[in-house]
């Protein structure tokens, strides 16, 4: 009982002391952080840190984003119940679960097979079955991407957002982090016409790069 109470207190503190003060006031997002058990998406030895204001390592030099960054991303994306969603970087599966609960269907790419397998087990345990998991380098599969209402990119890129924005539906929204360490900028792209996009800078951050993007000039358009 004490452990359960401690977890609920930690969840409450995460929302009230980290997420709300970072200008996340969307009730749908706050409700998601209340209802999706973040502790179920970390390894057993990390449960005590599941609600801390830090990135948690998940293997392969990858990390789970801090709660406030995850929340700002979800708020910016404004996911609706009928949204078709593309997630690049399944990672721990926590954001995948949030997107699956907020939207209609999620297609989630993960470079590492073991991370994808673990995430799939975690989402299945939560009864979430509206996710299509794909293992591999998304940059090798760009031709197979469809049009999406929401694109969530959970790793940074030095440049090249346009290779993904072209897969947005009209009025679709994409969150990504662009730039080089130590200073990067989280951005929201919105498709306003078939060939034009509105770009909004949200906040500065530092996020591990997506695989295949460590060299600036790998992109060709």
The answer, yes or no, to whether residue 5 has pLDDT greater than 90, is no
Query: Residues 159-173: pLDDT tens digits?
Result: 888 999 999 999 999
**Predicted pLDDT of residue 47:** 94
**Residue 140: which residues within 8 A CB-CB, separation 6 or more?**
none
**Predicted pLDDT of residue 2:** 57
Joined together, the tokens standing for residue 156 give 């940074």
- CA-to-CA distance for 188 and 88, rounded, in angstroms? 15
Strand ranges, E, within the chain: 56-59, 62-64, 84-88, 105-110, 131-135, 148-157, 168-180, 183-193, 196-205
The answer, yes or no, to whether residue 218 has pLDDT greater than 70, is no
Using DSSP bridges, classify how beta strands 56-59 and 62-64 pair: parallel, antiparallel or unpaired: antiparallel
What is the chain's mean pLDDT, rounded?
Answer: 92
Query: Residues 44-88: pLDDT tens digits?
Result: 999 999 999 999 999 998 999 999 999 999 999 999 999 999 999
The answer, yes or no, to whether residue 219 has pLDDT greater than 80, is no
**Predicted pLDDT of residue 183:** 86
Q: What is the CATH number of domain 2-215?
A: 3.40.50.150
Joined together, the tokens standing for residue 157 give 């890129």
Query: Residues 7-32: pLDDT tens digits?
Result: 999 999 999 999 999 999 999 999 99
Query: Residues 91-149: pLDDT tens digits?
Result: 999 999 999 999 999 999 999 999 999 999 999 999 999 999 999 999 999 988 999 99
**Predicted pLDDT of residue 213:** 60
**Residue 53: which residues within 8 A CB-CB, separation 6 or more?**
14, 18, 66, 67, 68
| Residue ranges per structural domain of the chain | 2-215
């Amino acid at each position: 009982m004490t452990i359960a109470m401690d977890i609920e207190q930690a969840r409450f503190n995460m929302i009230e002391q980290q997420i709300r003060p970072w200008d996340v006031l969307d009730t749908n997002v706050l409700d998601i952080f209340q209802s999706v058990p973040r502790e179920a998406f970390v390894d057993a030895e990390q449960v005590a840190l599941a609600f801390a204001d830090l990135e948690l390592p998940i293997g392969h030099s990858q990390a789970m984003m801090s709660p406030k960054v995850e929340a700002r991303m979800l708020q910016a994306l404004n996911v609706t119940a009928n949204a078709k969603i593309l997630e690049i970087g399944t990672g721990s599966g926590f954001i995948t679960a949030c997107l699956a609960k907020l939207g209609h269907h999620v297609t989630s790419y993960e470079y590492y097979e073991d991370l994808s397998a673990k995430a799939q087990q975690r989402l299945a345990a939560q009864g979430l079955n509206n996710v299509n998991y794909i293992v591999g380098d998304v940059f090798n599969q760009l031709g197979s991407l469809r049009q999406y209402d929401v694109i969530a990119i959970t790793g940074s890129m030095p440049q090249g957002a346009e290779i993904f924005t072209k897969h947005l539906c009209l009025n679709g929204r994409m969150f990504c982090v662009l730039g080089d360490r130590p200073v990067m900028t989280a951005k929201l792209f919105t498709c306003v016409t078939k060939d034009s996009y509105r770009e909004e800078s949200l906040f500065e951050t530092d996020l591990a790069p997506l695989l295949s993007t460590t060299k600036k000039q790998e992109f060709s358009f």
